[in-house]
């Protein structure tokens, strides 16, 4: 059988970030896949070696716009691990609130995009509408919708006042109902079940051997969650559970993300209620001794890992950053084989990849005919498949405007 | 309670890995550092990954002037610990056994360390560049301490290789 290579990229058709996938296909089936990254390599690790310990949080915050708290958080944890200092309770809880708000808005962003991609523009509009409220809460609490600049080694930079806490609590309680409505609407829809179930299955064994992280591993039945496995002091007294799904397909990963939103809402509520009156928000750190430390934190996409080494100067000797997508991208080699081209763009988006953290799809025929699929073509393939399922289920597919 | 358990982990590792490692230390409650020779590194890391069902976090390469230090970070989630396996690959012989040939999780990071610091991973199935451009000059390693931006000029780029 002749093999075709189809390029998908240089921009991901769904998440519009630079990456390049080469799909080796036989007819409509993908037989192998090759990922090329590096289009967006900015040399942050090298740059970090010429920044002072206090400047690095601002730098790592800019690794990614969506997980702009997870990187500073992991970095601060690494430095705190190096020093071995205690973080005040109030600072811990403020960290929990900011981090969980970020998780909700990141998951809703993904749900919206996934909805758009399978032809459910209503899901897209809905999810992003609710995400807006979360961003408003972020703005009220931290001063920014993204890039909060809240963290520093030893604690947080800004405190919440009474008015902010009340506002946050009120709005987050309001959010539970609409997000429940959205979740139920998605989970009850027979078309979405047919469209997403059994697609791009990552087996438990593969999830372990590729060390998949976050919702990608939890969707495959591997219950790895750093918040649970290595809890910060702030997480210890909060009641929440790790969401695990067993099937490993795109649907499971979506379910994990949707249900995690509720855990996050509950955690934010508990943290805001528990927030002690006043008190210090940072530990007094005068100097960074020689040594090394690892910090890890569960970003919306999985575990972020930072390693720092100090030679006793005011700058890190080495600062290693590992974003979750770095571990999750190679899993496509396992999950995309045997799937159709219409599904691959969806599978590759199912890990919620973040290329600015880590870093395009070419479909190549086995007789070396290269065919470039544009965003519209892929979107059309994917939407058509949903509409075919709708027809089989006796539903009338909506008119779909490809120009959106 | 947790403290007691972690002491056990330490003793257990000491006993099992006694002959294979140089030393083992536990500076913090949840962190274990193991030092091994480059020849033993792959064996010890594979053992930890398989025996204790560790999660592979990542590997860090550090330019230590006398060689490249590679640290494999493994997380043992059942005991809430990060086990770091350190090894110093001397500049005289920048070679180490690849773990990626057996466990796919290690492949990408080995490619990264190879292009950024110039360590050769023996037996790696797919040693292409991961992050650097194909046209980036050979034999220059950006993450080494002696690398300066001025070391690579526009003329050094081999655009033919990248097909531009």
The continuous run of DSSP H or E covering A129 comes out as helix A121-142
pLDDT at A260: 93
How many whole angstroms separate alpha carbon A321 and alpha carbon A74? 9
pLDDT at B164: 47
Question: What sign has the CA pseudo-torsion A385, A386, A392, A396?
Answer: negative
Over residues B72-87, the mean pLDDT reads 90
How many whole angstroms separate alpha carbon A385 and alpha carbon A196? 11
Question: Using the beta-carbon criterion (under 8 Å), do A307 and B71 form an inter-chain contact?
Answer: yes
Whether residue B109 is predicted with pLDDT greater than 70 in this model: the reply is yes
Q: Based on DSSP, count helices (H) and strands (E) in chain B, helices before strands.
A: 4, 7
Whether residue A403 is predicted with pLDDT greater than 70 in this model: the reply is no
Quote the tokens at residue A367. Answer: 């007789």
**Confidence bin at B90 (pLDDT 50/70/90):** very high
> How many C-beta atoms surround the C-beta of residue B128 within 10 A?
11
**Confidence bin at A375 (pLDDT 50/70/90):** low
Question: What sign has the CA pseudo-torsion A36, A42, A48, A50?
Answer: positive
How many whole angstroms separate alpha carbon A189 and alpha carbon A172? 26
How many whole angstroms separate alpha carbon A129 and alpha carbon A337? 35
CA distances to A31, A268, A327, B5, B16 from B11, in Å: 47, 39, 30, 10, 9
How many whole angstroms separate alpha carbon A86 and alpha carbon A82? 12
Q: A224, A239, A251, A283: which is closest to A89 by C-alpha? A: A283
**Interface subset of B 45-74, CB within 8 angstroms of A:** 53, 55-58, 60, 62-63, 71, 73
Question: Using the beta-carbon criterion (under 8 Å), do B109 and A303 form an inter-chain contact?
Answer: no
By the 8 A CB rule, do A343 and A201 touch?
no
Residue of A298, A307, A310 best to disrupt the B interface, most CBs of B under 10 A: A307
Question: Using the beta-carbon criterion (under 8 Å), do B82 and A45 form an inter-chain contact?
Answer: no
Range list of H helices, A24-120: 44-48, 56-61, 70-83, 89-117
Quote the tokens at residue A389. Answer: 């399922």
Which residues in chain B are closer than 8 Å to A324, comparing Cβ atoms? none
pLDDT at A376: 67
Closest alpha carbon within chain A to B133: A38
Beta-carbon-side half-sphere exposure of residue A22 (alpha carbons within 13 Å): 14
pLDDT at A105: 92
Quote the tokens at residue A107. Answer: 């998951």
Please tell me the pTM assigned to this model: 0.88
**CA geometry: angle at A366 spanning A11 and B106, to 5°?**
60
Query: How far away is chain B from the Cα of A51, in angstroms, using its nearest Cα?
Result: 15
Which residues in chain B are closer than 8 Å to A317, comparing Cβ atoms? 62
Which residues in chain A are closer than 8 Å to B55, comparing Cβ atoms? 211, 213, 224, 303
Whether residue B3 is predicted with pLDDT greater than 60 in this model: the reply is no
pLDDT, tens digit, 9 for 90 and up, residues A129-166: 999 999 999 999 999 888 888 999 989 999 999 999 99
Q: A50-54, A112-116, A151-155, A341-345 — which is least confidently predicted?
A: A341-345
pLDDT, tens digit, 9 for 90 and up, residues A185-209: 888 888 888 888 888 889 999 999 8
Whether residue A104 is predicted with pLDDT greater than 90 in this model: the reply is yes
How many whole angstroms separate alpha carbon A69 and alpha carbon A138? 11
Q: A55-69, B1-15, B128-142 — which is least confidently predicted?
A: B1-15
Q: A28, A8, A29, A32: which is closest to A19 by C-alpha? A: A8
**CA geometry: angle at A224 spanning A307 and A91, to 5°?**
55
Cβ neighbours of residue B114 under 8 Å, at least 6 residues apart? Answer: B120, B121, B124, B127
Over residues A257-284, the mean pLDDT reads 89
pLDDT, tens digit, 9 for 90 and up, residues B120-141: 999 998 888 888 888 888 888 9
By the 8 A CB rule, do A359 and A11 touch?
no
By the 8 A CB rule, do B88 and B111 touch?
no
Closest alpha carbon within chain A to B102: A209
pLDDT, tens digit, 9 for 90 and up, residues A21-33: 888 888 888 888 8
CA distances to A143, A327, B107 from B130, in Å: 37, 13, 10
Whether residue A96 is predicted with pLDDT greater than 70 in this model: the reply is yes
The 3 state secondary structure assigned to A69-94 is CHHHHHHHHHHHHHHCCCCCHHHHHH
Which residues in chain A are closer than 8 Å to B58, comparing Cβ atoms? 305, 307, 320, 322, 326-327
Residue at token pair 């855990």: A263
Whether the CB of B129 is below 8 Å from some CB of chain A: the reply is yes
Q: A101, A123, A103: which is closest to A114 by C-alpha? A: A123
By the 8 A CB rule, do A310 and A317 touch?
yes
> How many C-beta atoms surround the C-beta of residue A231 within 10 A?
14
- State the burial class of residue B3 (Cβ atoms within 10 Å of its Cβ: 0-12, 13-18, 19+): exposed
How many whole angstroms separate alpha carbon A141 and alpha carbon A272? 11
Q: A268-272, B5-9, B121-125 — which is least confidently predicted?
A: B5-9
CA distances to A32, B148, B161 from B156, in Å: 34, 14, 12
pLDDT at A361: 43
By the 8 A CB rule, do A250 and A115 touch?
no
Q: Based on DSSP, count helices (H) and strands (E) in chain A, helices before strands.
A: 16, 10
By the 8 A CB rule, do A63 and A357 touch?
yes
By the 8 A CB rule, do A190 and A393 touch?
yes
Residues pairing with A371 in the sheet: A363
3-class DSSP state for residue A395? Answer: coil
Whether residue B99 is predicted with pLDDT greater than 70 in this model: the reply is yes
Closest alpha carbon within chain B to A84: B28
Which residues in chain A are closer than 8 Å to B60, comparing Cβ atoms? 307, 318, 320
pLDDT at B94: 92
């Amino acid at each position: 059988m002749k093999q075709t290579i189809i390029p998908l990229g240089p921009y991901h058709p769904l998440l519009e970030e630079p990456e390049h996938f080469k799909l080796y296909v036989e007819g409509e089936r993908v037989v192998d896949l090759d990922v090329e990254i590096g289009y967006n390599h900015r040399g942050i690790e090298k740059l970090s070696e010429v920044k002072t310990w206090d400047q690095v949080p601002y730098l790592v915050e800019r690794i990614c716009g969506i997980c702009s708290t997870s990187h500073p958080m992991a970095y601060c944890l690494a430095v705190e691990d190096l020093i071995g200092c205690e973080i005040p309770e109030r600072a811990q809880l403020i960290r929990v609130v900011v981090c969980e708000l970020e998780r909700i808005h990141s998951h809703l962003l993904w749900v919206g995009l996934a909805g758009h991609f399978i032809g459910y523009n209503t899901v897209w509009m809905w999810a992003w509408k609710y995400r807006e409220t979360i961003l408003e809460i972020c703005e009220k609490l931290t001063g920014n919708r993204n890039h909060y600049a809240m963290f520093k080694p030893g604690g947080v930079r800004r405190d919440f006042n009474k008015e902010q806490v009340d506002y946050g609590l009120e709005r987050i309680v309001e959010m539970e109902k609409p997000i429940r409505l959205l979740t139920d609407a998605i989970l009850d829809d027979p078309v979405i079940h047919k469209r997403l179930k059994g697609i791009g299955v990552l087996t438990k064994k593969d999830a372990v051997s590729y060390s998949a992280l976050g919702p990608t591993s939890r969707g495959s039945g591997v219950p790895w969650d750093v918040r649970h496995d290595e809890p910060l002091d702030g997480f210890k007294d909060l009641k929440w559970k790790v969401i695990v799904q067993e099937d490993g397909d795109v649907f499971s990963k979506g379910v994990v993300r949707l249900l995690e939103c509720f855990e996050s809402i509950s955690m934010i509520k508990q943290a805001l209620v528990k927030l002690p009156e006043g008190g210090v928000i940072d530990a007094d750190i005068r100097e960074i001794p020689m040594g090394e430390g690892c910090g890890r934190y569960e970003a919306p996409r999985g575990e972020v890992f930072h390693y720092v080494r100090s030679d006793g100067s005011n700058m890190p000797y080495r600062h290693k950053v590992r974003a979750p997508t770095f571990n999750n991208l190679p899993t496509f080699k396992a999950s995309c084989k045997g799937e159709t081209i219409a599904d691959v763009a969806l599978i590759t988006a199912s890990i919620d990849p973040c290329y600015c953290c880590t870093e395009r799809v070419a479909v190549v025929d086995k007789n070396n005919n290269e065919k470039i699929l544009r965003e519209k073509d892929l979107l059309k393939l994917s939407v058509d498949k949903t509409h075919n399922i709708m027809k089989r289920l006796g539903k009338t597919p909506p008119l779909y405007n490809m120009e959106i | 309670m947790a403290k007691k358990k972690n002491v056990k982990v330490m003793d257990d590792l000491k006993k099992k890995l006694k002959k294979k490692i140089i030393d083992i230390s536990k500076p913090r409650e949840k962190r274990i550092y193991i030092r091994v020779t480059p020849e033993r590194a792959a064996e010890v890391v594979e053992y930890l990954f398989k025996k204790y069902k560790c999660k592979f976090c990542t590997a860090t390469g550090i330019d230590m002037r006398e060689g490249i230090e590679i640290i494999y970070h493994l997380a043992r989630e059942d005991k809430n610990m990060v086990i770091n396996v350190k090894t110093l690959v001397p500049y005289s012989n920048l070679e180490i056994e690849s773990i990626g040939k057996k466990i796919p999780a290690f492949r990408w990071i080995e490619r990264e360390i190879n292009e950024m610091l110039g360590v050769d991973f023996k037996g790696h199935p797919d040693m292409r560049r991961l992050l650097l451009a194909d046209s980036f000059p050979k034999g220059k390693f950006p993450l080494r301490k002696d690398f300066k931006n001025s070391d690579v000029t526009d003329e050094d780029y081999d655009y033919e290789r990248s097909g531009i």
